Structure 1
């Protein structure tokens, strides 16, 4: 059962991250990100976040900031517009993910810490 729960959390987290990135790209760049492209970005970003967290996440404040820079760097690499656009896309993605997780929590589907993108 634990494996099934982990798979469900992974899939839901990927979907939430993908929707957040889609919203960010559409709002900031005013273009269609494409679901697959946004999903790949969310997946690569999550892996990059996890690897960075493993190596430097233990450093107070600096570790989390560097993890965030790496995650935004993935967005910057995958979409045009530079670092400013990547930060804006990441911020919108985070806001959207918080709203989705909150909605899931309100209806009792998940707990807020079960899903999300960095910072949730």
Structure 2
């Protein structure tokens, strides 16, 4: 059953990240991002976050800032507009992700920590 739970959490996390990035791109860049492109960005961003976390996540403050910079860097690489645009997309994505996790928690589908959203 743990494998099924892990797969479900992975799929939900990817879906939440995808919807967040999609909303961020549509709001900030004002263009259709495409679901597949947003999903690939969410997946690459999650992998980059995890790798960075493995190497520097234990460093107080600096580790988290580096992880965040790498994640925003993935967004910057995948979408036009530069670093400022990427930060704005990431901020919108984070707000949307928090709202979705909250909604899932309110209806009792998951606990907020299950989806791995930072600082929820």
TM category (shorter chain) comes to over 0.9
Contact 1:45 1:74 in 2 (8 A): yes
Shift of 1:19: 0.1
Deviation at 1:50, TM superposition (A): 0.1
**Distance in 2 between residues matched to 1:75 and 1:87, nearest whole Å:** 8
SS state at 1:108 partner: coil
Structure 1 Cα separation of the partners of residues 27 and 95 of structure 2:
12
Number of aligned residue pairs: 120
Question: Counterpart of 1:2?
Answer: 2
Residue in structure 2 matched with residue 91 of structure 1 by the alignment: 91
Given that 1:97 and 1:116 are in contact with CA atoms closer than 8 Å, whether structure 2 keeps it comes out as: no
1:48-67 mapped onto 2 (5 Å cutoff)? 48-67=48-67
Asked which structure has the greater RCO (Cα within 8 Å, sep 6+), the reply is: 1
Paired residue secondary structure (1:80): coil
Q: How far off is 1:106 after superposition?
A: 0.3
Aligned to 1:42: 42
Deviation at 1:115, TM superposition (A): 1.0
Contact 1:41–1:74 (CA under 8 A) maintained in structure 2: yes
Deviation by residue 1:10-65 (Cα, 9 ceiling, x = unmatched): 00000000000000000000001000000000000000000000000000000000
Q: Which runs of 5+ in 1 are unaligned?
A: none
Segments of 4+ moved more than 2 angstroms: 116-120
- Decide whether the 8 Å contact of 1:23 with 1:92 is kept in 2: yes
Deviation at 1:82, TM superposition (A): 0.1
- In 1, Cα distance between equivalents of 2:85 and 2:13: 23
When normalised by structure 1's length, the TM-score is: 0.97
